[in-house]
Amino acid sequence: MRVEIWLDLVCPYSYIGKRLFEEALENFSHREHVHVTYRSYVLYEHSLRIQPSQVVDGLFANWNCETKEEKMNQLHTCAQMFELDENCFHEKQLVNTLNAHRIIKYARTQNKEKQMVDRILKAHFFEEMDIDQLDCLQVLATDIGLKEDEVHNILQTCKYTSDVRYDTSEAKELGAEYIPFIVINETYGVPSLYTPEEFLYILEGCWDETAERVAHKQYKETTYCSAEGCTRS
């Protein structure tokens, strides 16, 4: 099962949503068959931006909360669960992450995509590092074992820029109004934050539906042949 997660690396909602999804995935009985890809969404490269601090109502539309205050309490509970500083919702957002996303694209070619995503998120939210600075990204990339000279060459060019911008454009075409935005098997869109229990329910439903569709397709397309010819049942 293929899962794509669009996120930005300085958006606290992206970080929380990613962690909530991972909590669900840990309890998913078919998790070894789930392939997760991280897709880029650059919030602050241009003037037209999704403002994370202004979309609480939309993000938590599916949570069982009656008031905005209750939603914010839920949000801060999640932040505490993952040891996020309360200031992350106000003081750590206005950072251009284009170069950070470019390095993640390179890391994917080296089978280190998740390690790079996790390392950058840790650097931003817990280590007060400036992930928009090239020297910082150089350090973070070598931390996870990427080749120093290749990382340097990428950072000094525009390589993977078009891939990052394509991801952001595709998310908008798919109707993503908020991030994180999750798509399962290129069919099922999950445009909001969910609790781990709700994510697990979604994963199980998608798995069952996919298995049923595959079984039905295989049955319909089975062809039996003999000396007298072939028949399809």
Q: What residue spans define the domains of the chain?
A: 2-224
Q: What span, in angstroms and rounded, lies between the C-alpha atoms of 219 and 211? A: 12
Query: In this predicted structure, what is the pLDDT of residue 222?
Result: 46
Query: In this predicted structure, what is the pLDDT of residue 219?
Result: 44
Q: What span, in angstroms and rounded, lies between the C-alpha atoms of 216 and 92? A: 49
Query: In this predicted structure, what is the pLDDT of residue 14?
Result: 87
CATH architecture for the domain at 2-224: 3-Layer(aba) Sandwich (3.40)
Task: Collect the ranges in the chain with pLDDT lower than 50.
Answer: 47-55, 57-58, 219-220, 222-230
Question: What pLDDT digit, counting tens, does each position of 89-146 carry?
Answer: 655 556 889 999 999 999 999 999 999 999 999 999 889 899 999 999 999 999 999 9
Transcribe 4-54 into DSSP letters.
EEEE-TT-HHHHHHHHHHHHHHHT-TTGGG-EEEEEE--SSSSSS---GGG
Query: In this predicted structure, what is the pLDDT of residue 224?
Result: 43
